[in-house]
Amino acid sequence: MKAIDDKSVDAANRRGAATQAMFPPVVAVRYDSRIERIVITLATGLDLAFAPQQAQGFERATAADLAVADISPSGLGVHFPLIDADIYIPGLIEGFLGSKRWMAVQNGKLGGQSVTAAKADAARENGKLGGRPRKPRPADGE
């Protein structure tokens, strides 16, 4: 294991200070059961609200699980101890509520549901090549 020297610590502290300067800290967090959303209030007065199911690690969280939350000392994170899950505010603000892989799966689900001209054209081209096999028709009387 590589030893941590003072130079590395100083660099990490500078990166942390730069990140704190770029993002407003969390001043409050709560679960609003009326709208079924986690609500995070930033120092700017902006409220960020989202359904727990939209964030990785929160998919199966109950209202009771979300009733307890701790703001990190830096103000850049929120920890939910009852489900041992965290939200990193810079990632949330940048639009990512989970790992890149998890978000890709979620976006893929949405992409598969979308209807676009390009998808229709691709389906027509695939049809010209034979497309999917037809489903057998039930015989009369079945």
Report how far Cα 101 is from the mean position of its chain's Cα atoms.
10
Q: Residue 66: inside a domain, yes or no? A: yes
Q: Is the pLDDT of residue 131 over 60?
A: yes
Determine the Cα–Cα distance for residues 50 and 35; give it in Å rounded to an integer: 9
Query: Domain range for residue 118?
Result: 99-129
Residue 67 maps to which CATH number?
3.30.2020.40
In this prediction, residues 42-50 reach a mean pLDDT of 89
| Residue 93 belongs to some domain of the structure | yes
**pLDDT one-digit tens code per residue, 74-115:** 899 999 999 999 998 888 777 655 566 655 665 565 555 556
Indicate whether 122 belongs to any domain.
yes
Task: Verify that 104 and 60 share a domain, yes or no.
Answer: no
Domain co-membership, 118 together with 59:
no
> CB 57: neighbour CB atoms within 10 A?
17
Distances from the Cα of 118 to the Cαs of 24, 115, 121, in angstroms? 40, 8, 5
Whether 124 is covered by a domain: the verdict is: yes
Q: What is the pLDDT of residue 18?
A: 74
Please report the pLDDT score of residue 26 as a whole number.
92
Residue 139 covered by a domain: no
Q: Are residues 24 and 63 in the same domain?
A: yes
Specify the pLDDT at position 108. Answer: 61
User: Number of folded domains in the chain?
Assistant: 2
Q: What 3-state DSSP class applies to 114? A: coil
pLDDT band at 136 (very low <50, low <70, confident <90, very high): confident
